[in-house]
Amino acid sequence: MRAIRLILGGIAAVLALVASYAVAGLVGGAIPSNRDWAPPAHGIRIFVESNGVHTGIIVPKVAAGVDWRGVARAEDLRDPRFAGYDHVAFGWGEKTFYLETPTWADVKLRTVLAAATGSTRTLMHVEHLPVPRAGDGARKIVVTPAQYRRLAAYIRASFRDGGARYRGYAGYDAFYDANGRYDAVRTCNSWTGDALRFAGVRVGAWTPFPVTVMGWF
């Protein structure tokens, strides 16, 4: 009986920890940063996207003096023809999780736990895309040229200079070695929120979940 009580106590502790994390994330995501931000009438159109688990930022390849073609290169793609698209999406995440889970059916519990407990092996995921349409899971944000350049600087600093490149899941994407440590506090969605916050856009103070990003737009 004592062993059973210990097991049940351990399960209860884990569930309490998970619940506390979820509540803290939702509270952090509800606290606004850059609360006075308002989209300009005219500016650079960007997008935030979500697949329900992971968020990213979609930007024009060339805008406001920023040209991503030297970073998002055609030769890094399985099919260089996709480089003809005029937008590019950026996401940040843990390396093993990215490379070993091309679909959600490939997700392994050990990979999730390893990422949540901390990893300095991180990647940038870059996708060459057309401009998003309604229903694509992306939401539009308009920023000033100065805000866009700040956003671009944050994204660019996430790439590890001289790092390796890896083929993506399909013909239109690729991975690049990144800077930063991934863990349960700084998730892929936290990176998205941090980038938008750095640019001056109103978003949650801490955004570990997709809803804490997408709920602002």
**Tell me, what's the pLDDT at 135?**
73
3-state class of 15 per DSSP?
Answer: helix
Question: 99: pLDDT confidence band, cut at 50, 70 and 90?
Answer: confident
Question: 4: pLDDT confidence band, cut at 50, 70 and 90?
Answer: low
Taking only the tens place, the pLDDT of each residue in 114-132 is 666 778 999 999 999 999 9
Which of the 8 DSSP states describes residue 182?
A: B
Q: What is the largest CA-CA distance in the chain?
A: 69
Taking only the tens place, the pLDDT of each residue in 50-91 is 988 899 999 999 999 999 999 999 999 999 999 999 999 999
Q: Is the pLDDT of residue 110 over 70?
A: no
Query: Measured between alpha carbons, how far is 136 from 51 in angstroms, rounded to an integer?
Result: 9
Query: Measured between alpha carbons, how far is 68 from 87 in angstroms, rounded to an integer?
Result: 9
Q: Among 22-31, 52-61, 75-84, 151-160, which stretch is predicted with the lowest mean pLDDT? A: 22-31
The dihedral region occupied by 213, where left means phi > 0, alpha psi between -120 and 50, and beta the remainder, is alpha
pTM value is 0.89
